[in-house]
Structure 1
Amino acid sequence: MSTHHTSTDDADPRPKAVLFCPDCGHESGLPGDWIVDEDPGRTTHTCPACDATVEERRRPEPMLAP
């Protein structure tokens, strides 16, 4: 017996990388309409609707040559 899989070409799928605001429920893909602040040690995504911090990532320190 074979399994039939429907094609998703006609569907409007959500992007694979989607961030959700925990405070107001705003959602958008990456890159989306998030406010991005990049410092030397971290990247922060802020919600454009309510100014909540959605994601904060520390950047790894570069490896020094021996």
Structure 2
Amino acid sequence: MTPSPSTAERRPPDKATLYCFACGHESRINGDWVIHVRADSLTYECPACETVIDSRRNHEALAAGSGGSLGFAIEN
């Protein structure tokens, strides 16, 4: 039986990690997720079971969540 790491050795979960609620797959947000980018939405799909785990449809939320690497042209 392998002893579990002490509290000091355990790292807190990474805030940039996504978890699939259907199959338990986990990976960083920029990991192996299948990302569908459309004009008005961004959808993260699990590569193991194809479950959609996150879908963002608000332009401001999409741009903010991308760390500034995603922009939208808004027509007047």
CA deviation string 1:9-65 (max 9, x = no partner): xx666432111101001011110100000000000000000000010001327374x
Map of 1:3-22 to 2, 5 A cutoff?
Answer: 14-22=13-21
> What is the aligned partner in structure 2 of residue 31 from structure 1?
30
Task: Work out the CA distance in 2 between the residues paired with 1:27 and 1:63.
Answer: 37
Larger helix fraction of residues = 2
Please identify the structure whose Cα radius of gyration is greater.
Answer: 1
Aligned residues: CA RMSD: 2.4
TM-score, length basis structure 1: 0.68
> What is the aligned partner in structure 2 of residue 43 from structure 1?
42
Larger strand fraction of residues = 1
Task: Work out the CA distance in 2 between the residues paired with 1:50 and 1:58.
Answer: 22
Question: Which has the higher relative contact order, 1 or 2, with Cα contacts under 8 A spaced 6 or more apart?
Answer: 1
Percent identity of paired positions between Structure 1 and Structure 2: 38
Number of aligned positions between the proteins: 56
TM-score, length basis structure 2: 0.60
